Structure 1
Amino acid sequence: MSQDEKNVGLQVTVPLRWADMDAYGHINNVNIVRLMEEARIAALGVPGGTGAAGIEAEIDLFGAVPEGTQVLVVEHRVRYRRPLEYRNEPTPVRVWVQKLSGASVVLGYSFTDAVTGEECVRASTTLAFVHEGRPQRINAQQRKLLAPYLV
């Protein structure tokens, strides 16, 4: 990871739970995807219509989604660089925009061990914007919110 990549994106923290751990003391691979979701919500907000108003985000991308538009997960990719050890403190996660296209966005994640500072997991999520079953183009307001985080 270049120095420029380390400085771009939103830095959030995600709590680790005892139940996230496997028999080896590592965060179980299945739970990494849940942690990706928590990092995404901390960074971009709660998708509309979820009834979870009041959760603060670094930027409110999902609040800028037009009424009736859904933001759907299309794909996850996860690369385990080293085990993410269970810690009794939140793990730092950097979230950035890898790609911004007409109706989708690819988010990148870097999970770091809270004690050693080593990168443990590098991942991505592709999100699609859909309205009434059809792709919904990302509007100018959304592009403006995401532009500073594009690497």
Structure 2
Amino acid sequence: MGQDNSRNGNERIEVLVPMRWGDMDAYGHINNVQIVRMLEEARIGAFGPPKGAGLPGIEPKVSLFNAVPDGTMALVVDHKIRYVRTLEYRNVPAVVQVWIGSVKGASFDIHYLIQDPVTGEDCVKASSHLAFVDEATGRVQRLTPEQKDRMAPYRH
């Protein structure tokens, strides 16, 4: 699952995300709205589901979202998506590489590369800006040293 795919030695997490028949648009491509769903599935596969979301399943590569204190939410602040080429529907999962980008005092970026599982071509380059928020107050929480340490091997 974790592979070293970068020149500087930082690791990327590889997640296989299924493409569903209903994800296609009229042209046979994966619809842009479904790409956001695929990013979410890759993010959860790499860094864990939010705490309290369903029963335990396969352990993520890095326990980040499921290792926060009670009452803490991991919220997406912003998405940026660049469609490099169309992602054709395939009856096999897409390959999504995931890694950490910028880490600030109270927020961080997750980057994604979605590749066609048949041709290996890059199809989507994206990033999500996230922050941890106190559920009761709505205030952004600073990242802890432990959270930063968990992200460090996957930071580019």
TM-score, normalization: structure 2? 0.90
Unaligned runs of 5+ in 1: none
Q: Which residue of 1 aligns with 2:142?
A: 137
Please report how far the alpha carbon of residue 105 of structure 1 lies from its aligned counterpart in structure 2 after TM superposition. 1.1
Q: How does 1:114-125 map to 2 (within 5 A)?
A: 114-125=117-128
The alpha carbon displacement at 1:5 in A equals 7.5
- CA-atom RMSD, angstroms? 1.7
Structure 1 moving runs of 4+ over 4 Å:
none
Corresponding residue number in structure 1 for 2:42: 39
List per-residue Cα deviations over 1:47-103 (Å, max 9, x = no partner): 113234334211111122111111011111100000001000001000001111111
Shift of 1:22: 0.8
Q: Deviations over 1:23-56 (max 9, x none)?
A: 1111000100000000000000001132343342
Give the drift of 1:118. Answer: 0.5
Match of 1:16 among 7, 14, 19: 19
Q: Is the 8 A contact 1:75 1:126 kept in 2?
A: yes
CA gap 1:67/1:102 in 2 versus in 1, 3 angstroms:
same
Residue from 90, 98, 102 that aligns with 1:95: 98
**Secondary structure class of the residue paired with 1:54:** coil
The 1:67–1:73 alpha-carbon spacing in structure 2 relative to 1, beyond 3 Å, is: same
SS at match of 2:7: helix
**Normalization by structure 1: what TM-score?**
0.93
Shift of 1:140: 1.3
Q: How many residues align?
A: 150
5+ residue gaps in structure 2? none
Residues 108-131 of structure 1: per-residue CA shift (max 9 Å, x gap): 000000010000000010111111
Distance in structure 1 (CA, Å) of the matches to 2:56 and 2:34: 24
Distance in 1 (CA, whole Å) between partners of 2:24 and 2:121 is: 18
